[in-house]
């Protein structure tokens, strides 16, 4: 077994004392509350949606009023979750809640002006697990060791002795698999799997949920993907995988422009490739460049900055006014320069065992 497959952290991270104290205070407020408002960050993901729905189910089973509130519509992918159809997108100013629970949100700024005023919200409880953020609320439960907010909801249920029904267990399981990538990401720990096990004991069928969340591409998207994959070119000694999309390809496949989303990852995923590039001929002229890096050695945000765009170390983009061929040339040259700045060309892409 190589070192990278060996565990270097504790199997069960100790829950910080202040997290436990905050959770106890949150439970006390929830126990007494009659009317509870539940919300998450804008465009809630699987964790946000699943933990809201799961907590709503648990609270309603106690005879309480629990309102799920999201200004943005719930993504089609999660619409089938129990109780999600009861989500409201406005809260009237004369409503009064005993408390409001904000899930999966590391910063009050991410709520924008969607959070109702304090007199509407009542006691503000936050349940979050982001390591970097600014915990907020009257009671902030913020635990980076929790793989998903669903884990924190399971902790609440266990602490309060609330029975988990399938109606609560299913969305909580979705919260868990969303944030752990199906128990594969680095945040997957013993507690995440223990919670998964508990949820299965209470009615979750993992294969059914996996099937419900499966991406079902339209025939047009699949035709377009086939066309895009056939454009793959490897540059920079196999370290850059470049894919191209043109208007003709989109129209020929009878696909939509949205179908292009995520296709850049196919170039990045090729064996040996460190940077994936997708070149898209823009409708208004020029070429849209997307870059994804799987190596911390090349900051594609910086590479894109040299081309007039920007981004993060792992993801960048820019718009160029040249033709597709000229753009490809410039992008490859910029990447070549970035790879050359690396102290030594990487031949073996496997992570070093020392880190």
According to CB under 5 A, which residues from 92 to 151 bind Mn ion?
Answer: 104
**Of 47 and 259, which CB lies nearer to Mn ion in the complex structure?**
47
Name every residue whose Cβ is closer than 8 Å to that of residue 145 and which is 6 or more positions away in sequence: 13, 14, 15, 16, 129, 189, 191
**Of 170 and 303, which CB lies nearer to Mn ion in the complex structure?**
170
By C-alpha distance, which of 241, 235, 286, 282 is closest to 260? Answer: 282
Q: Cβ-closest residue to Mn ion?
A: 47
Degrees to nearest 5, angle at CA 294 with 355 and 279: 165
By C-alpha distance, which of 195, 176, 300 is closest to 242? Answer: 300
- Minimum distance from residue 19 beta carbon to Mn ion (Å): 16
Site size toward Mn ion (CB under 5 A) is: 3
Quick check: 66 and 60 in contact, CB under 8 A? yes
Q: In angstroms, rounded to a whole number, what is the distance separating the alpha carbons of residues 184 and 236?
A: 30
**Of 104 and 167, which CB lies nearer to Mn ion in the complex structure?**
104
- Minimum distance from residue 341 beta carbon to Mn ion (Å): 35
**Of 42 and 341, which CB lies nearer to Mn ion in the complex structure?**
42
3-state helix, strand, coil in the chain (%, to 5): 40, 15, 40
By C-alpha distance, which of 242, 240, 211, 243 is closest to 226? Answer: 243
Q: How many CA atoms lie within 13 A of 240 on its CB side?
A: 24
**Of 47 and 167, which CB lies nearer to Mn ion in the complex structure?**
47
**Of 156 and 225, which CB lies nearer to Mn ion in the complex structure?**
156
**Of 47 and 143, which CB lies nearer to Mn ion in the complex structure?**
47
Burial (Cβ within 10 Å: 0-12, 13-18, ≥19) of residue 290: buried
- From the CB of residue 114, how many other CB atoms can be counted at a distance below 10 Å? 17
Q: In angstroms, rounded to a whole number, what is the distance separating the alpha carbons of residues 135 and 127?
A: 9
**Of 47 and 299, which CB lies nearer to Mn ion in the complex structure?**
47
- Minimum distance from residue 175 beta carbon to Mn ion (Å): 7
- Minimum distance from residue 47 beta carbon to Mn ion (Å): 3
According to CB under 5 A, which residues from 163 to 222 bind Mn ion?
Answer: 179
- From the CB of residue 105, how many other CB atoms can be counted at a distance below 10 Å? 25
- Minimum distance from residue 278 beta carbon to Mn ion (Å): 27
Residue 245 token pair? 């999309």
Cα-flanking dihedrals φ and ψ of residue 125, to 5°? -110, 135
- Minimum distance from residue 133 beta carbon to Mn ion (Å): 11
Burial (Cβ within 10 Å: 0-12, 13-18, ≥19) of residue 101: buried
- Minimum distance from residue 214 beta carbon to Mn ion (Å): 21
According to CB under 5 A, which residues from 323 to 352 bind Mn ion?
Answer: none
**Of 128 and 259, which CB lies nearer to Mn ion in the complex structure?**
128
- Minimum distance from residue 33 beta carbon to Mn ion (Å): 23
- Minimum distance from residue 124 beta carbon to Mn ion (Å): 19
According to CB under 5 A, which residues from 15 to 74 bind Mn ion?
Answer: 47
Contact positions toward Mn ion, by CB under 5 A? Answer: 47, 104, 179
């Amino acid at each position: 077994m190589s070192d990278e497959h060996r565990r270097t952290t504790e199997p069960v991270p100790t829950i910080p004392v202040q997290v436990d104290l905050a959770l106890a205070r949150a439970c006390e407020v929830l126990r007494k509350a009659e009317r509870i408002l539940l919300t998450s960050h804008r465009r809630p993901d699987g964790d946000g949606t699943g933990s809201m729905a799961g907590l709503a189910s648990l609270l309603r089973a106690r005879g309480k009023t629990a309102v799920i509130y999201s200004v943005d519509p719930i993504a089609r992918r999660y619409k089938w979750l129990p109780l999600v159809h009861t989500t409201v997108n406005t809260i009237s100013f004369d409503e009064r809640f005993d408390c409001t629970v904000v899930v999966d949100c590391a910063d009050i700024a991410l709520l924008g002006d969607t959070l109702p005023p304090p007199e509407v919200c009542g006691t503000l409880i936050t349940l979050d697990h982001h390591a970097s953020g600014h915990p907020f609320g009257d009671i902030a439960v913020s635990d980076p060791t929790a793989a998903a907010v669903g884990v924190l909801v399971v902790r609440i249920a266990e602490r309060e002795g609330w029975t988990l029904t399938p109606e609560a267990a299913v969305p909580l399981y979705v919260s868990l698999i969303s944030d752990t990538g199906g128990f594969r990401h680095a945040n997957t720990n013993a507690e995440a799997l223990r919670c998964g096990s508990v949820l299965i004991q209470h009615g979750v069928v993992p294969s059914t949920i996996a099937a419900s969340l499966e991406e079902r591409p339209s025939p047009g998207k699949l035709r377009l993907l086939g066309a895009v994959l056939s454009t793959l070119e490897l540059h920079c000694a196999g370290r850059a995988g470049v894919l191209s999309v043109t208007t003709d390809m989109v129209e020929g496949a009878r696909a939509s422009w949205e179908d292009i989303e995520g296709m850049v990852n196919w170039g990045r995923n090729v064996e040996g490739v460190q940077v994936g590039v997708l070149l898209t001929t823009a409708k208004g002229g020029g070429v849209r460049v997307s870059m994804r890096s799987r190596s911390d050695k090349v900051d594609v945000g910086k590479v894109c900055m040299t081309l007039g765009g920007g981004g993060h170390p792992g993801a960048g983009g820019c718009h160029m006014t040249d033709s597709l061929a000229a753009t490809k040339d410039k992008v490859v040259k910029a990447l070549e320069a970035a790879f050359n700045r690396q102290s030594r060309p990487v031949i073996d892409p496997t992570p070093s065992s020392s880190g």
